Structure 1
Amino acid sequence: MPDIIDDKSEHCIPFILERLRLHREQYESRGETPPPFFLGLNGVQGAGKTTLVSTLSKTLSSPPHSLPTVVLSIDDLYLPHDAQVALAESHPDNPLVQHRGVPSTHDIQTGVSLFEALANRKENIKIPSYDKSQFNGAGDRRPESEWETVNKTGEKPVGVIAFEGWCVGFRALKDDEVERKWKDAKQQAEKGDGSYKGRLGHLKLEDVLFINSKLREYDALTDRFGAFMHVDAEDTLYVYHWREQQEAAMRAEKGTGMSQEQVIDFVNGYYPCYELYTDVLRKGIFGDEKGKQLRLVVAFKHLDLDGHDLPPSPAPSSPSNGRKYALATELVYTESNDQYNASSVPIYQSATFKGGPGQEYDYTRSGNPTRTHLERHMAKIMNANRALVAGSGMGALDVITRVLKPGDEVVTGDDLYGGTNRLLTYLKENNGIIVHHADTTKLDVVKSTITENTTMVLLETPTNPLIKIVDIAGISTIAHEVSTKIIVAVDNTMLSPYLQNPLDLGADVVYESGTKYLSGHHDVMAGVIGVNDLQLADKFYFMINSTGCGLAPFDSWLLLRGIKTLAVRMEKQQANADAIANFLESHGFKVRYPGLKSHPQYKLHWSQARGAGAVLSFETGSIALSERIVESTKLFGISVSFGCVNSLISMPCRMSHASIDPAVRKERAMPEDIIRLCIGIEDLDDLKDDLSQALVRAGAVKLTDNGFTALIADALEAAGETGRTTQVTDEP
């Protein structure tokens, strides 16, 4: 078995660049223009194909290569739903045909026509797309109007086509070879001793031969490949474990997902093909031709986080494939096998370490075992290749913005945390950084603001305190289409990694204030940075080491402790927040909360997040009235910040966002009367009672036979409007 490869891109990119060079020279030596290059990529489920092809696409599309690259998945060639149903009904006794994704369930004719059009550089080619959410997960082909168009008139034509999928590259076997493999598997299955873990031996030979015969049609696609990459696994049985983890995470986070039995049934549909055709891939799909295929072997195993022997913070020691269990479990699960077998991660409260040059640690400013353990743990739950921790959330943002140089341009939102706005203003006035504030909820506005001079796009979602939702994937795509060098950084503090993972949506950097939900108790200041690009991570580490803003050992330990309860805290806080939001809305207040279907970006939010969080805001129409409400609460503490276990109330324009000039707040349509609620884990009835009494004492509601209603509701009804606040006044 070859060496195990964890970082696939560093091996794949040199391989494909060499194949592209040979491809170009082959045609240019004859005085011909090189045609588009077709690259095949196969990997078992969970092998990281999506991330790999994204990295390849960015690399090939950007200078110095500048080769427009299109990525096509085998999933995009699924038969339309009606055709899938018809196929299954025509072979009712063949369990393989009932399973979407196996050979025979793809529209190969469309794929052949598409490959032909791309090879001939035809203009305005439509790339098919499949929506897996349709028909309760069975999926259906999207309307052609939603397909991506490539080779648009006047644009540089596609130079590389990357075709990826779990069965890409499979070659049909001779029927007698299929029968031999089937008989071997059947004999093992009939032993009944539990040693046979496959599925091939439990099927009928005629069913397997049917799939094999349909696979011959796929050669028309495979024969186009100029190179092929196979991301193999040490043991293909991993696909069961990987899928179980994915579905367990979905059940924990969304309340829906396949059971273990359903997962087994689902993967059973794929597994016979792994048994039949994996050896073909390993031997090579090009026959006697050498050098055109690269095989990598990925080990899907949990990281052994040794608390005593951890590498120093500078090391790229946080691979993102370290998850073994569902996220709620991983938050709690931290291995710490120090020499004394401590059940909790030790606090290495030491400024220096003995041993001299070459030791793992020498000075805590540069690295500390407790901090490194936290960074590894954070990388795992942030889906990052590396995580770094600083002394506060703003300290983390300061580290990120230190990569900017005079003249660099930053595009950011018009509804920002006050501290972020203050830092950007300083950079603009003192460091020569050009800052563009735009409505980041509108993709067309963002697209018109981002230029070739843009260095960084800085996003918050949900925004604070207006709770606007930003399309992370959409903006990341827009930015990276302009330049792959643009850094898209997302402040994920409002949701935490438990509810949203911006790196999975295309962002380059994610950062959070660990003071908020990660810690959960407002007893530690901390900032966390997650990143996949290890070179960029090295720059951030250099800044942390040089400025000495790394998180202290004791604070690192406090944050590690807080993270363990993140899931249970967030679930309780979310449940309370949802109830409070509905309570206020039902009584006539205009409430901003992404868990409400009245939120204008409800669908967008739930397309990228797993929950609505526990921060909401509402308006009264009067600054004085809002002030009285805030001052009348008893359980709700009047304080800035959010994310702790106790509920807080504040007026952002008087507190957290007071550093923003009033004229700027007005320009950005930030209501001066807006009240922000940060919901904790208290008893829901107590919170409702406290809020109700405050509303009554402040004179914000009118008593009715059914309870009370917001006075602002009368003004809205009189104006014939709903969902928009009245003009803000200084008096109610």
Structure 2
Amino acid sequence: MAQNGFLEQKPGFATIAIHAGQEPEKWKSGAVVPPIVTATTFKQPAPAEPIEFEYGRSGNPTRNTLEECLAALEDGKHGFAFASGLGAATTIYSLLSAGDHVVCCDDVYGGINRLFRNVVQRMGIEISFADFTNLEKVEKVFQANTKMVWMETPTNPMMKVIDIGAISKLAKKRSSDIIVVVDNTFLTPYLQKPLNFGTDIVVYSLTKYMNGHSDAIMGAAIVRDDKLAERLRFLQNAMGAVPSPMDCYLVNRSLKTLALRMEQHKKSSLIVANWLKKHPQVLSVMHPGLPEHPQHELARRQMSGHSGVFSFVMAGGLKESRKFLMSLQIFILAESLGGYESLAELPSLMTHASVPAEQRAELGITDSLIRLSIGLEDPEDLINDLEHAFKATFSK
């Protein structure tokens, strides 16, 4: 059912997460939990005639199980697992050639910003950043050689919600060959399915909510188009940024509780966000689930609610932010997000430190901007922890 006016979820998500790709009949033992196959090579009955697998980089039973489940959850057709989210991004960008041009949203994960500016551009690929909440600004940066559009929604860390359908139509109107990519890490397919809005590739840092236990670094890409899948499969094998069977097992295990976890993250973050917006030391709260969020109505049309990650601006400057973060006792001062534990960080010095200072200033990534990842603790305990930190920071 739809909640608070957000997009209604199709039934069956939890069932798919538990059963897609997990058929016990796959294994001679009938194992209900897919086994961890660590073999790097597989016996062939005749030269160049593998039964199904030949070499671990090219395919692995444990990895294939995860990839099949990921594709099903996303309403996709082909899933690809990688050693990290940036490994997935690097492989996706290898679809391009020197002389191509990419249009990217301006507010993007610092690691992606660094990859684009310091690595991809050195390969002869042009990058243009634009505010994707303004279609006119986006349209102005398209070029004749534009081959890819990259966006995150909600964005990191300013939590801007981008109209996936509108951006996809804008790109495809210019050329059907432009590949539209959406980083869906903040929401997971439980809360948003970009392929249903015209996207070509959905990319993830599985490290975050999809795994949810802060114990595995992985990435993924999911597509529907068979030809695009062929190209990605070639690159996955040729470039070799593949995950270990153990990590694939861990993420596959975690998907079984994804629906339950996301419901709690969604519920708790809204409780904390509503408390923060009333606090005298808080200037603004960026949470798409709040009615005052600039793109709240858009969020309701393309999302089934928001997750546990959001940002807020507190009073003071760097001195106060440092004091506040160091005074937290339940929230852990650390990078990353999406785990069962609650995290807090200062993007200007941590996750987005590699973003040029002038771009941080333009986006509003100041030393007073705090990003939270609400975990699975009792929200009342988290609120008490935040209040304790505020008092420690501002008491005279």
1:347 aligns with 2:36: yes
The CA distance in 2 between the partners of 1:486 and 1:255, in whole Å, is: 30
Q: 1:332 aligns with which of 18, 37, 43?
A: 18
Instruction: Report how many residues are paired.
Output: 387
- In structure 2, the partner of 1:614 is 308
Counterpart Cα distance in 1 of 2:181 and 2:310: 23
- Which range is displaced more, 387-396 or 333-342? 333-342
- Cα offsets for 1:32-51 (capped at 9, x unmatched): xxxxxxxxxxxxxxxxxxxx
In the alignment, the residues of structure 1 paired with residue 320 and residue 30 of structure 2 have an alpha-carbon distance, to the nearest angstrom, of 57
Whole-angstrom CA distance in 1 between matches of 2:4 and 2:253: 21
Is 1:695 the equivalent of 2:383? no
Q: CA deviation at 1:413?
A: 1.2
Greater C-alpha radius of gyration: 1
- What is the aligned partner in structure 1 of residue 366 from structure 2? 671
Query: CA separation in 1, counterparts of 2:210 and 2:196?
Result: 19
Paired residues of 1:629 and 1:694 also in contact (CA < 8 A)? yes
176, 181, 205: which one aligns with 1:484: 176
Q: Distance in 2 between the 1:668 and 1:596 partners?
A: 20
SS of residue paired to 2:189: coil
Identity level (%): 39
Separation in 2, partners of 1:598, 1:254: 14
1:519 aligns with 2:211: yes
Q: Which of 286, 306, 321 is the equivalent residue of 1:592?
A: 286
Deviations 1:325-352 (A, max 9, x none): 6112211223222111111001111001
Q: 5+ unaligned residues in a row in structure 2: which ranges?
A: none
Match in the other structure for 1:462: 154
CA distance in 2, matches of 1:510, 1:650: 26
CA distance in 2, matches of 1:384, 1:394: 21
Tell me if structure 1 keeps the 8 A contact 2:88–2:221. yes
Alignment of 1:287-298 (within 5 A): none
Q: How far off its partner does 1:483 sit? A: 0.2
In structure 1, the gaps of 5 or more residues are 1-249, 259-322, 703-732
Relative contact order: is structure 1 or structure 2 higher (C-alpha 8 Å, sep ≥ 6)?
A: 2
1:426 aligns with 2:118: yes
Structure 2 contact 121–127 (Cα < 8 Å) conserved:
no
Letter of the 2:287 counterpart: Y
Corresponding residue for 2:248? 556
TM-score, structure 1 as length reference = 0.51
Q: Secondary structure at the match of 2:95?
A: coil
Q: What residue number does 1:440 align with?
A: 132
CA–CA distance in structure 2, aligned partners of residues 446 and 587 of structure 1:
36
CA distance in 1, matches of 2:349, 2:85: 21
Q: TM-score, normalised by structure 2?
A: 0.94
What is the match of residue 396 of structure 1? 88
Q: Is residue 252–residue 328 contact of structure 1 (8 Å, CA) maintained in 2?
A: no
- One-letter identity of the residue aligned with 1:631: M
Which structure 2 residues correspond to residues 182-221 of structure 1 after superposition, within 5 A? none
Question: Using the alignment, how far apart are the partners of 2:8 and 2:338 within structure 1?
Answer: 28
Preserved CA contact (<8 Å) 1:522 1:644: yes
SS in 2 for 1:687: helix
Q: What is the CA-CA distance between 1:426 and the residue it aligns to?
A: 2.4
Q: Secondary structure at the match of 2:88?
A: helix
Letter of the aligned partner of 2:38 in structure 1?
Answer: Q
Distance 1:418 1:658 in 2: 7
Residue 586 of structure 1: SS of its match in structure 2?
coil
Contact 2:154 2:186 in 1 (8 A): yes
Kept in 2: contact 1:427–1:433 (CA 8 A): no
Cα distance, 1:252 vs. partner?
9.8
Task: State yes or no: 1:658 paired with 2:344.
Answer: no
